[in-house]
Structure 1
Amino acid sequence: MAGRQTSRRVSRLLLWVVLTIAAASVLIPFGAIVLASLQDPASLTVSLAWPDRLHFENYANAWSTAGFSSLLGSSALIAGVVVPIALLCASLAGYAFATAPFPGKSWLMGLLLLGLALPHEAIIIPLFFGMKSAGLLDNQLAVILPLIGAFMPFGTLWMRSHFEQLPEELSEAAEMDGASTTRTMLSILLPVSWPALTTLGLLYFMWAWNQFLLALIMLQDPAQRTAASGLGKFVQQYGTNIPLLAAGTVIVIVPIILMYLIFQRHFITGMVSGAVKG
């Protein structure tokens, strides 16, 4: 009995140490960026020491200099269109692969999963000429449509795994009550899939918000690009002004942090349910 208690204490201590290191690896760099953004912009070198005066004007200068009003609006538009459409498509495809028998199911799933191994850089040039021939360059659709397609492999796999873990009694009871396949999915399965959908939606939002290469190539107008691609251009112009760059970085990542804090409980529930079957 004493040996088991000692083993449990050691396990808890190790878990606490691992979680502390993981939290520190995230919080310390973020704290360093925030501290750097409040330093004197006139100084050539930036230290991690607490400044004599907090220079909050760095955020206002970064906002106006980089034009974050239009950049954040463009990112919000792209993410606001991509996330719901990609969630709908992934839910429909995941439900079909999880419940519906049809010819070539395994082959189609394998073909879809190839998208997880295909780097975006390998298809960016064909995408550019395809969007150019369609007249969609300098239009957010040139980023939205490829992102929806790029998100489908992971989303389909995620939702298929979720639907396979749901009790079969739910679908069987709905079928006995005369519910159609569409009715079963919309009224029975999707309402209990909120954690999985929230987790996938947050991942989609983060990926769409942080989109850099696709927006940089497809959107020639700098004002229409995403905040991440605009920040890259901002770094090229003001590479020596560390406080200004740090302030711009904080501005870009704050929306992601807010989204996570709002849906934190559902995100954790969805991650746990996706990792543990049953």
Structure 2
Amino acid sequence: MIVSRRETWLGRVLLIILMVVTIVPFISLFITALHKPGTYPSGLSLPETPYWSNFVDAFTAADMGALLWSSALIEVGVVPVALLIATLAGFSLGHLRPPGHRAIFLAFVIGLTLPFQAVIVPLYYQMRDVGLLNTRWAIILPLIGLYMPFAVMWMRAHFVNMPEDLSEAARIDGANTWKLFARIHLPLSTPALSSLGILLFLWTWNQFLLAVVLVDDPTKRTMAGALGAFQGQWGTDIPLLCAGSLLILTPTLLVFLAFQRQFVSALMQGALKG
């Protein structure tokens, strides 16, 4: 397909506009965070004397060390387990296709339409009844279940497009289903797994609603969930609040920048196969 010069320039202009719309809020947060604590900055003007100490004060005031540890524990509890279950289920639905796989696939499609807000009240009472309220398990277990529809659909889409010839050749050589999965399909699933892992990491790190509703102790929440408590304490100090927000956003930005090649590779792989 030949793309005209006009379409090329239009695409570049749209990308520039999108980049500006995305970056300007971060620039505004950063500039505001450099102003004197307790002031109300306006516009995007840099202060005459940048207060870099706002980042140190925000880190100390919000007890970021404890929040980082809590978020890391929640990530370890959610991401590996969700990846394992989604990969096994995706392989089964996408490649093995057992009896009833279409009905199961439809159930996962319906699950994609279920918003977190619709289940937050039942989850609260369920976590309370099983004695997990105000613990990290109240965040970890619901997130694993709520991520399953998307995660299974993502991995199923990958395994559906895997060549049947590979499986037939492996079975002729004597490979059973587990060897077929572990030695043939799993190594070829690295792009899909890495990109799904990035998404699950970002979603878990930025999870706010479940953390606020199901856990009272800010030091047992995700960093995004703890921002609510930090805002309640320092909501009138706009520079300090912006500094805290940037500290919370930094880990997710670093993870995405570090693994962006794998993420784009998986998306391009899916587009080419589709």
TM-score, structure 1 as length reference: 0.93
Partner SS for 1:123: helix
Report the counterpart of residue 131 of structure 2 in structure 1: 135
Shift of 1:79: 1.2
1:75 to 63, 71, 87: 71
- Summarize deviations over 1:180-232 as a string: whole Å, max 9, x none: 11111111111111111111111100111011111112212222111111111
1:37 to 33, 52, 56: 33
Size of the aligned set, in residue pairs, is 274
Indicate yes or no: 2:187 matched with 1:191: yes
Report the counterpart of residue 28 of structure 1 in structure 2: 24
The RMSD of aligned alpha carbons is 1.7
> Contact (CA 8 Å) 2:32, 2:41: kept in 1 or not?
no
Indicate yes or no: 2:143 matched with 1:147: yes
Query: Which stretches of structure 1, 4 residues or longer, exceed 4 Å deviation after superposition?
Result: none
Aligned partners of 1:34, 1:270: CA distance in 2, in Å? 32
Report the counterpart of residue 92 of structure 1 in structure 2: 88
> Contact (CA 8 Å) 2:127, 2:138: kept in 1 or not?
yes
> Contact (CA 8 Å) 2:92, 2:98: kept in 1 or not?
no
2:169 to 173, 177, 181: 173
Report the counterpart of residue 157 of structure 2 in structure 1: 161
Shift of 1:247: 0.5
Partner SS for 1:50: coil
Indicate yes or no: 2:197 matched with 1:201: yes
Report the counterpart of residue 112 of structure 1 in structure 2: 108
- Summarize deviations over 1:222-243 as a string: whole Å, max 9, x none: 2211111111122222222111
> Contact (CA 8 Å) 1:94, 1:156: kept in 2 or not?
yes
Q: Which runs of 5+ in 2 are unaligned?
A: none
Report the counterpart of residue 97 of structure 2 in structure 1: 101
Q: Is 192-201 or 129-138 further displaced after alignment?
A: 129-138
2:237 to 226, 236, 241: 241
- Summarize deviations over 1:145-198 as a string: whole Å, max 9, x none: 110001100011111101112222222221121111111111111111111111
> Contact (CA 8 Å) 2:34, 2:47: kept in 1 or not?
yes
Aligned partners of 2:26, 2:170: CA distance in 1, in Å? 48
Aligned partners of 2:175, 2:99: CA distance in 1, in Å? 24
Q: Is 37-46 or 109-118 further displaced after alignment?
A: 37-46
Partner SS for 1:276: helix
Shift of 1:47: 3.1
Report the counterpart of residue 217 of structure 1 in structure 2: 213
Q: Is 70-79 or 200-209 further displaced after alignment?
A: 70-79
Aligned partners of 1:242, 1:275: CA distance in 2, in Å? 43
Partner SS for 2:212: helix
Indicate yes or no: 2:53 matched with 1:57: yes
The one-letter code of the counterpart of 2:169 is: A
1:231 to 227, 235, 239: 227
Shift of 1:117: 0.9
The one-letter code of the counterpart of 2:179 is: R
- Percent of residue pairs identical: 43
Aligned partners of 2:270, 2:51: CA distance in 1, in Å? 43
Aligned partners of 2:29, 2:187: CA distance in 1, in Å? 40
- Summarize deviations over 1:32-91 as a string: whole Å, max 9, x none: 211111122242334311221221111111111122221221111111221111011111
Partner SS for 2:135: coil
The one-letter code of the counterpart of 1:155 is: A
TM-score, structure 2 as length reference: 0.94
Report the counterpart of residue 121 of structure 1 in structure 2: 117
Shift of 1:133: 1.8
> Contact (CA 8 Å) 1:128, 1:217: kept in 2 or not?
yes
Indicate yes or no: 2:11 matched with 1:8: no
Report the counterpart of residue 264 of structure 1 in structure 2: 260
Report the counterpart of residue 246 of structure 2 in structure 1: 250
> Contact (CA 8 Å) 1:46, 1:242: kept in 2 or not?
no
